[in-house]
Amino acid sequence: MLDTRMTAKIACCMVLALGTAAVAAQQSSTATSAERGNLSEVCKVSSLIGTHVMNRANTKIAHVRDLVLSPDGDPLYAILGHGGVGGVGETYTAVPFNALDVRHADGKWAVNLDMTADDLKKAPAIESENYRELNDRQWIARACQFFPPRGESVARPEKETGSMRREPRAVEWVLLATKIRGSRLKNPQNEDLGKIEDLLFDRMHRAAFLIVGRGGALGVREQYIPVPWSRLGLTMNRENAAVTASIDATKAELDKAPVVEGNNYETLLAPGFADQVRHYFGTISHGATTGAGTERR
Predicted confidence (pLDDT) per residue in 126-174, tens digit: 999 889 999 999 999 999 999 999 876 544 444 443 333 345 578 888 9
- Confidence band, pLDDT 50/70/90 cuts, at residue 288: low
Domain membership flag for residue 71: yes
292, 38 Cβ separation under 8 angstroms: yes
Domain, as residue range, for 77: 48-164
Mean pLDDT throughout 288-292? 52
Same domain, 155 and 183: no
| Tally of domains within the chain | 2
Predicted confidence (pLDDT) per residue in 28-40, tens digit: 333 344 455 578 8
Same domain, 219 and 180: yes
CATH code, 160: 2.30.30.240
Domain membership flag for residue 292: no
78, 97 Cβ separation under 8 angstroms: yes
Query: Which is it for the CA torsion 111, 182, 180, 225, positive or negative?
Result: positive
Tell if the pTM clears 0.95, that is, is over it.
no
Domain membership flag for residue 169: no
Domain membership flag for residue 2: no
Domain membership flag for residue 295: no
User: Which residues make Cβ contacts (< 8 Å) with residue 278, sequence separation at least 6?
Assistant: 33, 34, 37, 228, 284, 290
Domain membership flag for residue 286: no
Same domain, 107 and 186: no
Provide the 10 A C-beta neighbour count for residue 167: 8
Same domain, 78 and 104: yes
Same domain, 208 and 243: yes
- Nearest CA-CA partner of 47 in 265, 224, 232: 265
Same domain, 32 and 52: no
Domain membership flag for residue 181: yes
d(CA 84, CA 101): 24
Domain membership flag for residue 288: no
